[in-house]
Amino acid sequence: MNRVHMKNNNKTQDQPSTESQLSTRALERRIKRRFLKEVHSFFASCSQGFENILAQELKNIEGVTNLVIVEGGVEYSGELRLMYESNLRLRTANRILMRIASFNGKSYPTLFNKVRTKPWELYLGINPEININVTAKQSRLHHTGNIAKTIADGIKNYYQRFNQDISVKEDASKTIFVRFFDDACTISLDTSGEHLHKRGYKSHNVDAPIRETYAAGLLLKYGVENYNTIVDPFCGSGTLLFEAASIVHSVQAGSIRDFAFFDFAFFNKGLWEKIKKENPARDIPTKIDHIRFFGFDIEEKAIEAARSNSKKLEMDELISFQAQDARILKNRWENKGLILANLPYGIRLSGKQEDIRQLYKDFGETLRNEFKGWTGLFISNSIPYLQLLPVKVKNSFQFSNGGIKVTAHWGSIK
């Protein structure tokens, strides 16, 4: 992968004819006439294994067409408002890309000529600063630096018709993703900016948390709406509980964060604010008033982080956090509920293997004595340790969290 971050002043030999200067008003007219009413193609990327969950999320958004599940994400089409809705509502997506072009590119002249014909002003605006992100596999064009330079030259050539220039900078707010695979080139515009697991509420974190997109994916897969009480004995900074509460109360995943598309020429702030206020769900639970959320952690600093994050999400009255050792947790709730536990593993544990094993055994005894009949979601990198817990496993799911292969067990506590 390569990112270009230099200003490109090379003059190309084949320059397009010069048009009039592109003013802001002229650009607005072009966007309205040639862009807003078109059907656009998008790609929502996700981590491996979560594709079907992401696809189901997309099916719950009105207007999605041509949905195709591929490795690492979902391709789909629709009106421009889907760009807003996808970034706002998808809980398991990593990034939303808007497709600009797809073609076979077996030579640099072909690549250059394909790029220079695209209406870049509609995507990038006036005198744009851009970042170019390139990956290339199994293709004749494989030097990512040369590919990025050719892309930049093609865009620069296009803008010369407006007597304008482009700047290519690593910290630019507009990023173009270029992917070569088996000589097929796909060029996309990143509409998200920061990775979508960054919800915008975490000013405080702890070691080895579960990523928000993974937490949401597991909770969507197994369901959280049918439990009156949801408890996390190893809550850390609160990720599992925040994602569970957001699903139950239909809090949009991206409701308090910024996106790359805020800087796009075609960004419609009025439409964005309208979409944020809409109630999207066909599957919003109706009986949610009695669902209670409780988080516990042995580390006081983790509880402080969770409380701070909770305030930013305005969930401080919805979720209770308390410092407590999970091994001696008592069941203080009448109804059978749901246990969520991202158990200690990786850098969260520094003790001897026997001490780690004992932790799981002690927690298993607490589950057996206090929470028999409850449902549980238990996550760990060790299946043998998970088997120490008194759980009748109904389903297992494997994924990678922070580069560590982990397993989630879903089942009833016995």
CB atoms within 10 A of CB 100: 21
Q: Would you state the pLDDT for residue 107?
A: 97
Confirm if 69 and 55 have CB atoms less than 8 A apart: yes
Q: How many residues does the chain have?
A: 414
More confident residue, 114 or 289: 114
Give the CA count within 13 Å in the CB-facing half-sphere of 228.
5
Helix segments in 76-206, DSSP class H: 81-89, 108-115, 120-124, 144-159
Rg (C-alpha) for the chain, rounded Å, is: 24
pLDDT tens per residue, range 4-55: 444 444 444 444 445 567 899 999 999 999 899 899 999 999 999 999 999 9
Cβ atoms 171, 134 nearer than 8 A: no
**What is the four-CA torsion angle of 245, 246, 251, 253, rounded to 10 degrees?**
160
- Residues of the chain with pLDDT > 90, as a percent, come to 83
Cβ distance 171 to 26 under 8 Å?
no
The pLDDT tens digits for 284-340 are 444 456 789 999 999 999 999 999 999 999 999 999 999 999 999 999 998 899 999
d(Cα 102, Cα 75) in Å, to the nearest integer?
Answer: 13
What is the phi/psi pair of residue 393, to 5°? -75, 125
2-190 CATH: 3.30.2130.30
Residue 2, pLDDT above cutoff 80: no
Query: Do the beta carbons of residue 232 and residue 294 sit within 8 Å?
Result: yes
Judged by DSSP in three states, 157 sits in: helix
Q: Which residues pair with 401 in a beta bridge?
A: 404
Query: What's the pTM?
Result: 0.91
Would the pLDDT of 383 be above 50? Answer: yes
Phi, psi (5° rounding) for residue 341? -145, 110
Contacts of 403 (CB under 8 A, 6+ apart): none
Q: What is the pLDDT of residue 12?
A: 40
- Mean pLDDT is lowest, of 156-170, 239-253, 279-293, for 279-293
Output the pLDDT for position 335.
83
pLDDT digits (tens, 9 = 90+) for 340-381: 999 988 655 556 778 889 999 999 999 999 999 999 999 999
* Helix, coil or strand: residue 28: helix
Domain 212-249+288-413: assigned CATH number: 3.40.50.150
Q: Residues of 147-183 as b/e, b for ≥16 C-beta within 10 angstroms?
A: bbbbbbbbbbbbbbbbebebebbeebbbbbbbbbeee
Domain boundaries defined on the chain: 2-190, 212-249+288-413
Given a cut of 50, is residue 195 above it in pLDDT? yes
Contact status, residue 219 vs residue 247, Cβ threshold 8 Å: yes
Single-letter amino acid code for the residue at 394: K
Q: Give the bridge partners for 376, in sequence order.
A: 339, 411
CA angle centred on 367, ends 362 and 368, rounded to 5°: 95
Cα–Cα distance measured from residue 262 to residue 258, given in angstroms and rounded to the nearest whole number: 7
**Which H or E run contains 188?**
strand 184-190
Query: Parallel, antiparallel, or unpaired: how do β-strands 229-232 and 292-297 relate?
Result: parallel
Distance (Å, whole) CA 173 – CA 161? 23
Q: Which amino acid type is present at position 193?
A: G
Residue with tokens 């922070």: 402
CA distance 149 to 187: 14
Tokens of 230: 């949801």
| Cβ atoms within 10 Å of 311's Cβ, excluding its own | 13
Query: What residue ranges in 255-311 does DSSP mark as E strands?
Result: 292-297
What is the spatial distance between Cα 260 and Cα 283, in angstroms, rounded to a whole number?
Answer: 29
What are the structure tokens assigned to 15, written together? 């320059």
> Which residue in 217, 220, 212, 284 sits closest to 242, CA to CA?
212
Q: What angle separates helix 239-248 from helix 212-222, to the nearest 10 degrees? A: 50
DSSP 8-state code for residue 402: T
Between 177 and 13, residue with greater pLDDT: 177
